[in-house]
């Protein structure tokens, strides 16, 4: 069970945003994020819009070339920028002559790995080519990777995939606009499954759907995971759905992971002040509990990732912020077994 | 007139589109008392926004009111001219739209847009209007209001823009505030801020709120009464506790069952409502929910269920209740 499938170390993703030379500005979308995903598990990633969860998902598939960091998939290094320290199995930096040892600069051809790592996009209205039939959308990956020997096999494969996601075979000849949002999302999932992947990044796959349809799609993700032994990185801003589907959950704020733990541990025994306010802000669909719930309302808005606050990025909205928070970036440390958080004032908060 | 601020009875409204008549509202009736918060929940296309817009006379061509009466604050909306309507809008009733990014005019400053309402509806002098605008921004919790008045919408964040929208809506202290998915486009922490602000202002100004949303969590914490809509019908109406703890319509039950719960450590499988919403171009003859209902009976396909009252407020339109009554049991 606890076999590691994917490991991300010190991932940085900066996007240039105007300016020249010295004044060149960067959107610091993802800043020093490290985590791992075990085989067959679901890691949830939550946070507000603009916190870098989608960018993290795309960078680790190398849809964006990461600025810095290392991505290891199934024991093979897919990307290494050559300037982030290596760590051993216990997460301690490997030292050489008193200096941290860096990895070797590596970039591999992703095509063989695309067969193993896939993505389902957020917006089922924008992520399907309106001029291709559903059959061709699903079949495109089969063609590219040469997974079907002849036309008949290709056809059979497409039929099987569509059935697998709860569509029927006559749908293959239709165009995306003929489908509802929930059905389109199923097409998107069928496309991801076409290459028999092991790992799927689900980038807010249900947030564009109606409430009564959401449950259908969530159940389908769970069924597919059981049938095919898939591993998911499930990105969403709706914590109640993420809690439902994930084994572990990571919370992001302004490009940084602030807390990561087992899902029940994170919901009921969270330690980071941001996680706490995020959970209390979720409207509870139960009037009695809602009346009893004391919301921790955060002041102000999320700062701009162009110019994030020094030290801890959450300090401008944190009720516990001290001087130290402005000066030092809090360390990402294990507070309990498998429960990580980055905060200077954990003793005060708890 | 009546004891109700809003009283809608048997409203039927259709949109006449090139492909045919879309029956957006089928016999919708409800009322709102002064100072009350009514939540309207439903999926997209269930008619929740149309209900609100018709109350403000915003369902112009190709929309047409086919029947029923709409009373608001002593006005009969059906008989009002456009001029009278303009006087009412923004003054006695105002609306906050879903998307604060698109509902403010990008080429006018915030101040301009707030002052516009005051200019239209009050006899205040320029100076008084300016003072009131500053006061309004303070009321909705925007710091440095004088500076903000000179800024354009693109200079503000989503949460701030929604606050500005609320300030504009409240400029004339309306009796009724219609909030059409006011927090759907916002993040959860910002959503919490805005909901808190709305409840605070409601207590301060004593207005009624009509809260349109698809998020059951939002209505659970805010509303006194809830109307559940499906395919242009109110399928169930009751107090918040009625809807959450004693739901009587199969759709409401399904809706509540399908949300993942936060407060359990066990992993329970979600129970979805199968199928997809009905096409309002040709709605089914019987109960609109029949095709997706687990307990669908033969009569559900043939006839619409009558309104069944459980107490003074709580009612629903579902044959299952009729059946329970006939069988003499109290089966849920």
For A144-191, write each residue's pLDDT tens digit.
998 888 999 999 999 999 988 888 888 899 999 888 888 899 899 999
Half-sphere exposure of A186 (CA within 13 A, CB side): 23
Domain around A217: 4-116+197-349
B244 interface with A at CB cutoff 8 Å: yes
Which residues have a Cβ under 8 Å from the Cβ of B131 and sit 6 or more positions away?
none
pLDDT, residue B331, reads 45
Please give the pLDDT value at position A293: 77
Query: CA dist A329 to A308, A333, A344, B239, Å?
Result: 12, 12, 9, 49
Low-confidence spans in chain B with pLDDT less than 50: 1, 331-332
Asked if B129 and B114 count as a contact pair (C-beta separation under 8 A), the reply is no
CA distances from A119 to A27, A45, A65, A320 (A): 24, 14, 16, 38
Is A240 contained in some domain?
yes
Answer for the pair A261, A340: CB distance below 8 angstroms, yes or no.
yes
Under an 8 A CB cutoff, do A283 and B220 touch?
yes
Nearest CA in chain A to B230: A212
Q: What CATH code is carried by the domain that includes residue A283? A: 3.40.50.300
Q: Exposed e or buried b for every residue in B84-121, given b needs 16+ CB within 10 A?
A: eeeebbbbbbbbbbbbbeebbeeeebbbebbbbbbeeb
For residue A222, list chain B residues with Cβ-Cβ distance below 8 A: 269
How far apart are the C-alpha atoms of B307 and B66, rounded to whole Å? 21
pLDDT score, position A70: 92
Q: In Å, what is the CA distance from B283 to each residue of A146, B20, B22, B286?
A: 46, 12, 9, 9
Beta strands in A196-290 (DSSP E): 199-203, 231-235, 248-253, 256-262
- A212 near B231, Cβ under 8 Å? no
pTM (2 d.p.): 0.83
Q: Report pLDDT for B59.
A: 81
Per-residue pLDDT at B277: 79
Report the pLDDT value the prediction gives residue A265, as an integer from 0 to 100. 92
Q: Would the CA dihedral through A348, A32, A101, A327 be positive or negative? A: negative
What's residue B40's pLDDT?
94
- DSSP-based three-state secondary structure for B226: strand
Two tokens, residue A50: 């603009």
Dump pLDDT digits (tens) for B75-125: 888 888 888 888 888 889 999 988 777 889 999 999 999 999 999 888 899
User: Pick from A52, A348, A338: which is nearest to A203 by CA?
Assistant: A52
Is A96 a member of any domain? Answer: yes
Q: What distance in Å separates the CA atoms of residue B161 and residue B140, rounded to the nearest whole number? A: 11
pLDDT per residue over A47-85, tens digit each?
888 888 999 999 999 999 999 999 999 988 999 988 888
**DSSP for A284-300, written as a single string:** PS-HHHHHH----PPPS
The closest CB to that of B44, out of A183, A210, A281, belongs to A210
Structural domain count, chain A: 1
**How close are the terminal C-alpha atoms of chain B, in Å?**
38
Reduce the DSSP state of residue B143 to 3 states and report it.
coil
Say how far apart CA B258 and CA B317 lie, in whole Å.
21
For the sheet with A106-107, list strands across it. Answer: A26-38, A4-16, A68-73, A76-80, A106-107
Asked if residue A265 is part of any domain, the answer here is yes
Q: What mean pLDDT comes out for the span A95-101? A: 74
Q: Return d(Cα A313, Cα B183) in angstroms, integer.
A: 25
**Choice between A99 and B2, residue whose per-residue pLDDT is larger:** A99
Q: Is residue A338 part of a domain?
A: yes
Quick check: B273 and A215 CB within 8 A?
yes
| Residue B109 forms contact with A (CB below 8 Å) | no
Nearest residue on chain A to B262, alpha-carbon basis: A240
- Tell me how far apart the alpha carbons of residues B67 and B79 are, in angstroms, rounded to a whole number: 12
Please list the residues that pair with B8 across neighbouring strands.
B30, B70
Measured between CA atoms, the residue of chain B closest to residue A276 is B189
Query: Which residues, including other chains, have CB under 8 Å from residue A163's CB and lie 6 or more apart?
Result: A169
| Listed residue (A248, A276, A253) closest to A340, CA to CA | A248
Q: How distant, in Å, are the alpha carbons of A13, A32, A237, A241, B294 from that of A24? A: 15, 20, 31, 39, 60
A interface residues, B as partner, C-beta within 8 Å: 48-49, 180, 182-183, 210-216, 218-219, 222, 237, 239-241, 243-244, 264, 267-268, 277-291, 293, 295, 297-298, 301-302
> Helix or strand or coil: residue B236?
strand
What residues in B contact A302, CB-CB < 8 Å? Answer: 157, 187
Interchain contact, A213 vs B276, CB within 8 Å: yes
Identify whether A227 is part of a domain.
yes
B254 contacts on A by Cβ (under 8 Å) = 212
d(CA A88, CA B147): 54
- Interface residue of A182, A206, A241, A285 to substitute, partner B, most B CBs within 10 Å: A285
In a domain, A323, yes or no: yes
- Residue B267 CA, chain-centre distance (Å), reads 33
| Cβ atoms of residues B175 and B92 within 8 Å | yes
How does the average pLDDT of chain A come out, rounded?
88
Q: How far is CA B12 from CA A109, B68, B233, B282, B301, in A?
A: 61, 6, 10, 15, 21
C-alpha A152, offset from chain centre:
36
ipTM for the assembly: 0.77
Q: Which residues of A touch B260 (CB under 8 A)?
A: 215, 218, 240-241, 243-244
Backbone φ and ψ of B122, nearest 5°:
-125, 165
Query: Does A337 map to a domain?
Result: yes
- Quick check: is A141 in a domain? no
Which pLDDT belongs to residue A91?
64
Choose among B189, B221, B269: nearest Cβ to A298: B189
pLDDT digits (tens, 9 = 90+) for A110-137: 888 999 999 998 888 888 999 999 999 9
Q: Which residues of B touch A214 (CB under 8 A)?
A: 258, 272
């Amino acid at each position: 069970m606890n076999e590691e499938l994917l490991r991300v170390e010190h991932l940085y993703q900066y996007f240039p945003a105007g300016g020249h030379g010295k004044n060149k500005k960067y959107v610091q979308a993802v800043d020093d994020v490290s985590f791992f995903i075990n085989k067959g598990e679901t890691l949830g990633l939550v946070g507000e819009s603009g916190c870098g969860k989608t960018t993290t998902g795309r960078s680790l598939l190398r849809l964006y070339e990461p600025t810095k960091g290392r991505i290891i998939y199934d024991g093979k290094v897919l990307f290494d920028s050559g300037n982030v320290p290596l760590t051993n199995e216990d997460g301690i930096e490997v030292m050489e002559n008193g200096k941290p040892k860096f990895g070797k600069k590596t970039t591999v051809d992703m095509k063989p790995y695309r067969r193993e790592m896939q993505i389902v996009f957020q917006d089922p209205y924008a992520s399907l080519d309106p001029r291709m039939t559903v059959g061709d959308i699903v079949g495109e990956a089969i063609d590219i990777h040469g997974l079907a020997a002849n036309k008949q096999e290709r056809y059979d494969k497409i039929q099987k995939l569509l059935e697998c996601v709860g569509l029927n075979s006559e749908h293959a000849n239709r165009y995306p606009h003929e489908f509802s949002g929930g059905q389109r999302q199923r097409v998107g999932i069928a496309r991801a499954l076409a290459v028999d992947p092991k790992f799927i990044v689900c980038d807010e796959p249900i947030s564009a759907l109606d409430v009564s349809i959401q449950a259908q799609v969530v159940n389908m993700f769970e069924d597919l995971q059981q049938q095919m032994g898939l591993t998911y990185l499930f990105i969403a801003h709706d914590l109640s759905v993420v809690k439902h589907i994930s084994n572990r959950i990571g919370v992001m704020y302004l490009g940084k992971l602030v807390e990561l733990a087992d899902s029940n541990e994170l919901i009921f025994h969270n330690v980071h002040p941001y996680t706490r306010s995020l959970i209390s802000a979720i409207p509870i669909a139960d009037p009695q509990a809602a009346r009893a719930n004391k919301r921790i309302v955060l002041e102000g808005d999320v700062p701009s990732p162009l110019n994030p606050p020094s030290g801890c990025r959450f300090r401008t909205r944190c009720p516990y912020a001290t001087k130290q928070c402005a000066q030092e970036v809090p360390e990402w440390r294990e507070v309990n077994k498998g429960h990580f958080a980055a905060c200077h004032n954990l003793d005060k908060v708890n | 007139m009546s004891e109700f601020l809003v009283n809608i009875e048997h409203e039927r409204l259709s949109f006449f589109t090139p492909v045919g008549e879309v029956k957006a509202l089928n016999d919708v009736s409800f009322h709102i008392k002064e100072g009350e918060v009514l939540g309207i929940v439903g999926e997209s296309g269930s008619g929740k926004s149309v209900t609100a817009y018709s109350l403000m006379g915003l369902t112009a061509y190709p929309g047409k009111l086919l029947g029923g009466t709409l009373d608001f604050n002593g006005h009969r909306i059906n008989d009002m001219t456009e001029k009278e309507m303009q006087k009412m809008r923004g003054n006695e009733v105002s609306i906050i739209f879903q998307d604060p990014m698109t509902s403010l005019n990008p080429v006018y400053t915030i101040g301009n847009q707030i002052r516009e309402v005051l200019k239209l509806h009050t006899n205040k002098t320029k100076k008084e209007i300016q003072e009131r605008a500053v006061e309004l921004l303070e009321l909705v919790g925007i710091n440095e209001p004088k500076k903000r008045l000179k800024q354009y919408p693109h200079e503000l964040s989503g949460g701030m823009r929604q606050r500005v929208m609320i300030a504009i809506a409240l400029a004339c202290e309306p009796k009724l505030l219609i909030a059409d998915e006011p927090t759907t486009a916002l993040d959860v922490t910002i959503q919490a801020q805005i909901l808190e602000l709305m409840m605070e202002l409601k207590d301060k100004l004593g207005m009624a709120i009509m809260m349109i949303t698809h998020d059951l969590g939002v209505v659970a914490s805010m509303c006194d009464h809830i109307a559940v809509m499906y395919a242009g019908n109110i399928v169930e109406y009751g107090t918040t506790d009625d809807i959450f703890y004693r739901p009587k319509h199969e759709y409401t039950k399904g809706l509540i069952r399908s949300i993942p719960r936060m407060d359990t450590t066990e992993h329970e499988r979600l129970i979805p409502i199968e199928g997809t919403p009905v096409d309002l171009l040709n709605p089914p003859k019987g109960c609109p929910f029949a095709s997706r209902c687990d307990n669908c009976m033969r009569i559900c396909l043939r006839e619409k269920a009558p309104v069944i009252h459980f107490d003074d407020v709580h009612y629903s339109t579902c044959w299952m209740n009729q059946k329970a009554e006939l069988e003499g049991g109290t089966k849920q």
